[in-house]
Each structure stands twice: as C-alpha cells, then as structure tokens.
Amino acid sequence: MRVLVTTLPAFGHFYPMVAFSWALRSAGHQVLVAGPRLIVNEARNAGLAGTVVSDVSVRDLWAASDDPTGEDNHRPIADLGLDIADRAATDVLQLCRDWRPDVVMSDPMEFAGPLAAGLAGIPTVSHRWGLHCPDELISSLWESAGPKRRALHDRFGIDAAALEPHAVLDTCPPGLRRTENSSWISMRYVPYCGNAVLPRWLTEPRAKPRVCVSMSSLPMRQGLEALSTAARALSDMPVEVVLSGTGSRDSSLGELPPNVRAPGWLPHDQLLSACDAVVHHGGAGSSMVSLTKALPQIVVPQLGDQFANAEQLERRGIAHRIAVSDLSEDAVAEGVERVLEDPAYRNNAAELRSEIEAMRSPTRAVAEFESAARAASTGATPPEPVPAP
C-alpha cells in the first residue's frame, strides 16, 4: 500500500504522525511525506521519504497574520490552514495523479491532502494530535473559515461532504476524551520530537529538580514574554531550569540567571525524560509528551485549543493553569512550587501515563488502518473496530 502523508508545515503537526508512519513502514507499506522543505527535511531526519510541494513557510504566514492569540480569536488559525492549502492543493493533486497513493493521511488542520484525495478519488485518514478539541471550538473554527473554505472548494469544484475522512486515528487517552466514537481507530500516543546530539549534562544525575520551560515552536509575543517571566521567576528557586522551543535563545531575554540553561532545541521526548516538571503553553504536542513522561505541568494557554487542553489537564489534577492576564513571576514561582511539592500532581500524571501505555500500539493499529483503507477504496462497509486492550 502507498500512503501519502500531508501535514501543516509545523513541527507540532508533523511529529505526532511519525510513530504511525514508522509502523506502516515496518508493516511493509510505502510512506511518502509531502510538504514544504522544512517538513521534508524533518521527514528525512526521521527516516522517512519525502518530496517538496509548495515550499511555503508557516512562520512567514504566521508573522504576517493578525495577532492570533486569545481564547475566542479563531480566524487567524483557520485562515492559516486554508491559506497554505490554497497554495499547495494543485501541487498535491498532481502528486496524487503521478504517484497514485492508495490512501492519504493528514493532520486535522491540513486541507490540501484531503482536497486532492477527494478530487482523485483516494481514501483519506485523519491523524489526530492527541487531546480532543471541544465541539464548540471546531464549530467556531469552521465558522471563522467559512468564506475562505467555500472559495477553496468552489475553485476546485468539490463539495465539503466529499472531504470527510474515511477513518480517524485517535491518540487521546481514555481519561481525557471528550467523546467516544467506536468507528475511530484508537492507538497509543508515541512521542517523537526530532533528532539531536544530546548534551552530556542531560544524562547525568542531577542534585536539584529540573524544570523545562517551553512556549511553542511558533513565534508568539506572549510566548516570549512567558519564557522571560518564567526564567526570572525561577532564578531564586532551588531548581535547574531549561528553556526550550522558539525564543529560548532570543537576545531579548538578556543575561540568564545561573540556574537557567538555554541549549537551543532539544527533542522533548528526550529532554522531558530528564525533568521533574514542565511549564508550557498548552499545545497538544507539549501536553501529550509531558503526559507520557508523567510530569506535573504548569500551563499558560495563549490560543486555539490550548485553553481547552489546559482546562482538561487541570481538571484531571495534572496541571496548574495560569491565565496570560495573571502571568507574573510570583504566579509562576507559586505554580512550580505547588506541582513539585504536592504529590497528587505526579500521582495523577502517573495514572494518565499508565492509561496511555495500556492503549494499542501503532504497530497493532496498522491492520485496522489497512481494513479501513481497503473498505473505502471498494465502497464496502468497514469491519467493526477491534476493541483496544
């Protein structure tokens, strides 16, 4: 089977798809990642084949957009995915016609792949990031994107109903699901966050608790402010701090306190294994990787699904949430002290990690993926999903 993988050109959208792509390759299927050069380079680093289509920069589009932050400001987020699809759809359609994949697998914010697949009559699979988005957020996103979405569909002469996925890969742990859908393929979230040569200090025993502070892979003003605030807040605490992600080496941070490191990008599945807590923005990737490491979390949400993610994690007793409007050095220091000293946070996080580890592995989910793809290509009714262990 030939599987074409398309993703929004951002690390947080591509990385969650790597583990299942490996599982498909291990089962003998051919996997090809299509996207801008940024994503194709990451695919190569992950041991996957890739081809460049529509070399657009999500960072440039993001920087040119209106301020995307805010719990109710969904238009810039929806517009971003549609702007990229508008530029990429023709290239992806031509690739589908030339390479003739048997199925197209895309992340939920990538629209060019499903559009091209619909036009070419190819089954599609939606690969979710992890935590479920609330229905009201999805509805609001689609409402905000309405005019651009209709224009894109009209340009190619396709109906929205034709773009519904034939199968959904769901990696949300049971204890954090907002909905149960028996037709979805449930599988374990296996973190992948890129490759790097790890610094020796990351593998050595540590005398103090280590706290990671990371605020997205996208350049956001509020993220940089949160990084700077956290670095100052933790400078007098008996902890070691590692700044990671976008802005962590920004000159505007000034001279860092002695207990703060800024090594540049380190894969979070490696970095967080050597941490005791994490301060982050509530992105799906940061949230899910932290869950797989059973880490207490301090979440400072800034846009989109981050608010819903923070609410879910706080309600489960895994995270302490700080609103951007309440962000201060005292608030961060108190939050870190709380999650490090109260064992309930770590115990709840360990419980969630156990839920994740009990889920079906990506390798075991391949057979169900194959059945769904074959049924969609023949028009047959797919078999009942295999119950997850």
Q: Which range has highest mean pLDDT (54-68, 255-269, 276-290)?
A: 276-290
**What single letter denotes the amino acid at residue 241?**
V
Q: Would you state the structure tokens that stand for residue 259, as one six-digit string?
A: 């207990």
What pLDDT does residue 382 have? 47
The sign one gets for the Cα dihedral 45, 109, 289, 385 is negative
CA-to-CA distance for 229 and 264, rounded, in angstroms?
Answer: 18
CA-to-CA distance for 296 and 290, rounded, in angstroms?
Answer: 8
pLDDT in tens, 136-192: 777 776 676 677 888 888 888 988 777 889 999 999 999 999 888 888 999 999 999
For 12-64, the DSSP string reads HHHGGGHHHHHHHHHTT-EEEEEE-HHHHHHHHHTT-EEEE-S---HHHHHHH
What pLDDT does residue 137 have? 73
Of 39, 50, 56, nearest to 3 by C-alpha is 50
What pLDDT does residue 68 have? 55
End-to-end CA distance of the chain: 26
Scored b (16 or more CB within 10 A) or e, 313-338 reads beebbbbbbbebeebebebbbebbee
What pLDDT does residue 153 have? 85
CATH code 3.40.800.20 for 2-189+359-378: no
- Phi-psi bin for 128: left (phi > 0), alpha (psi -120 to 50), beta? beta
What pLDDT does residue 389 have? 45
Sheet of 2-6, strand order: 49-52, 30-35, 2-6, 103-106, 124-127, 167-170, 185-186
Pairing of β 2-6 and β 103-106 = parallel
Of 76, 191, 217, nearest to 130 by C-alpha is 191
What pLDDT does residue 224 have? 80
What pLDDT does residue 28 have? 97
What pLDDT does residue 352 have? 96
- The percent of residues in the chain predicted with pLDDT above 70, rounded, is 89
- 30, burial (CB in 10 Å: exposed 0-12, middle 13-18, buried 19+): middle
pLDDT in tens, 191-250: 999 999 999 999 999 999 999 999 876 656 677 888 889 999 999 999 999 998 777 777
Extents of the domains making up the chain = 2-189+359-378, 200-356
What pLDDT does residue 134 have? 76
Of 201, 216, 62, 81, nearest to 141 by C-alpha is 81
What pLDDT does residue 383 have? 46
- The percent of residues in the chain predicted with pLDDT above 90, rounded, is 62
Count of H-run helices and E-run strands, the chain: 14, 13
Within this chain, domains 2-189+359-378 and 200-356 share the same CATH topology: yes
CATH, domain range 200-356: 3.40.50.2000
Place of tokens 């894109």: 152
Q: Which contiguous run of DSSP H or E holds residue 210?
A: strand 210-214
pLDDT in tens, 43-86: 999 999 999 998 666 666 555 555 555 555 555 666 777 888 88
Q: Are 26 and 363 in contact (CB under 8 A)?
A: yes
Of 356, 347, 341, 217, nearest to 291 by C-alpha is 356
Scored b (16 or more CB within 10 A) or e, 60-72 reads ebbeeeeebbeee
What pLDDT does residue 58 have? 61
DSSP code for 380: P
pTM over 0.95: no
